[in-house]
């Protein structure tokens, strides 16, 4: 009997050992490619040629040269010889309201989307599968029909917009921050109607809670928002308000949407590039924490040298009706509809009116671009974001347009890649993404050319890995 017990114990132990061995995760190894360094805001260039990247259960566990890193036995090996490995791209401000949009992001190597809900963006489709990681944005301190909290008990009445958005009562702010964080919000939006005191309070408390902050100010002066430590200033055409004279921005505290705002934005859109205030503002931005998130992709079709984005393979996934102000499918150009009262005019007159609107919009965009060249010359930090699906910027495609425009502005290709990857880790403390390094999430894009030589090589995607899983890109193109 004792011998039988010993045998059973031995058999049981052997079975447990076998189960333990069989349960060991199978590592994925990317071997032979060059790991592109995007650390230090893109100013470091310690690439790793002939690299070995070991991935276990969705995380990167080892990175180094073939001489330094041992390839585990029984690992699944992907030969990346002659290719380049970059971290999965991050689109810092976009909508993602359908499976088609989610697939377009993934097809273009965007593995994380900082996702906004809104009338122009729709609601984030968290049920899409596969989809990029979605880091949610919620507005804070203001009424908003699209707030993530609008359907939560006790919030509907407080958040409904009656007329124009209005600031919430002070005693609601702390509760709103806590409740939206519980929903999984990662970024809070500080909008046009927030006055300076509330902006300062929200920025301080959001950072204490580990939430990133985006600013699109009007009632709060931009210099106050920046000094409050807001992490990112969003969209060309907005943050230039910081260069306006005080007499134009002061009335915005009471009139952030009306005639005072129209006057202030018009001045910002036409400020001379030699203006002393503009150059002072540029130096101010460079000296502070806030990064610029220009969403140049939303102005791309108004700037010279653009192309028809409908020709991109990923565009076949997209429904123009789900894009706000989508470009014409045949020409790739934005359309400029005329007012209903003018529709009885002759067609030649209508075409003249539309062309006049186009020229005016294009000239304004070109001047704003020149203003941004002045801001760039002072050396601020940048974060890449497409702003899609708005004003001609398309999910996934728009992120590569943004990289192209950042390089056109003056960033090196490596700095532009950093703006779409590790700069988010540095600026927001999101240390689970942004680098191909041990401990980071295994979101990796394999490309066929060196993207630090030409940013266009970032489009030559040979493979996309999402949390350790190799995606079938051709299957993504068949998704609807």
Burial annotation 402-422 (CB, 10 A radius, 16+ → b, else e) = bbbbbbebebebbbbbbbbbb
- How do residues 448-470 score in pLDDT, each as one tens digit? 999 999 999 999 999 999 999 99
- How do residues 249-277 score in pLDDT, each as one tens digit? 999 999 999 999 999 999 999 999 999 99
Between these two residues, 24 and 216, which has the higher pLDDT value? Answer: 216
Q: What is the pLDDT of residue 286?
A: 98
Percent over 90 (pLDDT), the chain: 87
Q: What is the pLDDT of residue 480?
A: 66
The domain containing residue 204 runs over which residues? Answer: 88-430
- HSE, side-chain direction, 13 A CA sphere, residue 179: 17
Q: Would the pLDDT of 127 be above 70?
A: yes
Greatest extent of the chain over all pairs of C-alpha atoms, in Å: 105
- How do residues 40-91 score in pLDDT, each as one tens digit? 999 999 999 999 999 999 999 999 999 999 999 999 999 999 999 999 999 9
Structural domain includes residue 39:
no
Q: What angle do CA 225, 210, 116 make, to 5 degrees?
A: 70
Q: What is the pLDDT of residue 201?
A: 97
Output the CA–CA distances (angstroms, integers) from residue 10 to 23, 91, 97, 189, 469, in the order listed: 20, 55, 56, 61, 38
Q: What is the pLDDT of residue 117?
A: 97
Distance CA 228, CA 128 (A): 36
Structural domain includes residue 466:
no
Q: What is the pLDDT of residue 351?
A: 80
Structural domain includes residue 158:
yes
- How do residues 424-444 score in pLDDT, each as one tens digit? 999 999 999 999 999 999 999
Structural domain includes residue 191:
yes
For 331, residues 6+ apart whose C-beta sits below 8 A from its C-beta are 308
The 10 Å Cβ neighbour count of residue 336 is 15
Distance CA 98, CA 91 (A): 16
How confident is the model over 291-319, as a mean pLDDT? Answer: 97
Q: Would the pLDDT of 3 be above 50?
A: no
Q: What is the pLDDT of residue 307?
A: 97
Local confidence band at 13 (pLDDT 50, 70, 90 cut-offs)? very low
* Domain containing residue 397: CATH number: 3.20.20.140
Structural domain includes residue 4:
no
How confident is the model over 378-387, as a mean pLDDT? Answer: 98
Supply the DSSP string of 38-69, one letter for each residue: --GGGT----EEEEEEEEETTEEEEEEETTTS
Local confidence band at 2 (pLDDT 50, 70, 90 cut-offs)? very low
Structural domain includes residue 329:
yes
DSSP β-bridge partners for residue 114: 135
Q: How many domains does the chain have?
A: 1
Structural domain includes residue 128:
yes
Distance CA 232, CA 345 (A): 45
Query: How do 444-447 and 84-87 pair as beta strands?
Result: antiparallel
Sequence-distant contacts of 5-8: CB under 8 A, at least 24 apart: none
Nearest CA to 214 among 177, 187, 181? Answer: 187
Q: Look up the pTM and report it.
A: 0.93
Structural domain includes residue 416:
yes
Between these two residues, 196 and 14, which has the higher pLDDT value? Answer: 196
φ, ψ of residue 444 to 5 degrees: the values are -140, 140
DSSP β-bridge partners for residue 137: 187
How confident is the model over 131-158, as a mean pLDDT? Answer: 95
Q: Would the pLDDT of 194 be above 90?
A: yes
Mean pLDDT of the chain: 93
């Amino acid at each position: 009997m004792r011998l039988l017990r010993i045998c059973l114990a031995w058999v049981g132990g052997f079975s447990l050992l076998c189960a333990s061995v069989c349960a060991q995760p199978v590592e994925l190894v990317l071997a032979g490619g060059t790991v592109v360094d995007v650390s230090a805001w893109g100013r470091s260039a310690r690439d790793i040629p002939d690299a070995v990247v070991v991935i276990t259960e969705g995380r990167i566990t080892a990175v180094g040269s073939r001489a330094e890193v041992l390839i585990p036995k029984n690992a699944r090996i992907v030969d990346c010889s002659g290719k380049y490995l970059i971290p999965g791209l991050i689109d810092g401000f976009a909508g993602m309201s359908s499976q088609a949009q989610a697939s377009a992001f993934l097809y273009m190597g965007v593995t994380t989307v900082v996702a906004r809900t809104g009338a122009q963006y729709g609601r984030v489709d968290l049920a899409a599968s596969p989809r990029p990681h979605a880091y949610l944005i919620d507005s804070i301190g203001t009424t908003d029909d699209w707030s993530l909290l609008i359907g939560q008990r006790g919030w509907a009445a407080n958040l409904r917009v009656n007329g124009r958005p209005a600031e919430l009562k002070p005693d609601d702010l702390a509760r709103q921050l806590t409740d939206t964080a519980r929903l999984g919000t990662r970024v809070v939006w500080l909008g046009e109607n927030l006055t300076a005191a509330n902006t300062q309070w929200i920025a301080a408390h959001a950072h204490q809670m580990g939430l990133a902050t985006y600013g699109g100010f009007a009632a709060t002066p931009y210099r106050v928002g920046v000094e409050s430590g807001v992490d990112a200033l969003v969209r060309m055409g907005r943050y230039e308000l910081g260069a306006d004279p005080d007499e134009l921005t002061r009335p915005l505290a009471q009139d952030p949407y009306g005639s005072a705002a129209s006057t202030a934005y018009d001045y910002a859109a036409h400020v001379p590039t030699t203006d002393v205030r503009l150059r002072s503002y540029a130096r101010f931005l460079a000296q502070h924490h806030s990064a610029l998130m220009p969403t140049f992709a939303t102005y791309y079709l108004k700037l010279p040298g653009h192309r028809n984005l409908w020709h991109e393979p990923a565009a076949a996934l997209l429904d123009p009706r789900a894009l706000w102000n989508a470009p014409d499918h045949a020409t790739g150009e934005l359309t400029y509809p005329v007012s209903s009262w003018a529709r009885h005019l002759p067609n030649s007159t209508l075409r003249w009116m539309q062309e006049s609107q186009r020229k005016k919009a294009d000239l304004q965009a070109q001047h704003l671009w020149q203003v941004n060249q002045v801001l760039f010359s002072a050396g601020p930090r940048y974060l890449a974001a497409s702003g899609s699906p708005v004003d001609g910027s398309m999910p996934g495609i728009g992120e590569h347009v943004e990289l192209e425009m950042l390089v056109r502005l003056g960033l090196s290709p490596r700095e532009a890649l950093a703006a779409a990857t590790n700069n988010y880790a540095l600026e927001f403390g999101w240390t689970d993404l942004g680098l191909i390094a041990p401990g980071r999430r295994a979101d990796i894009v394999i490309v066929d050319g060196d993207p630090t030589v030409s940013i266009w090589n970032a489009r030559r995607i040979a493979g996309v890995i999402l949390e350790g899983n190799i995606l079938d890109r051709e299957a993504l193109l068949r998704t609807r």
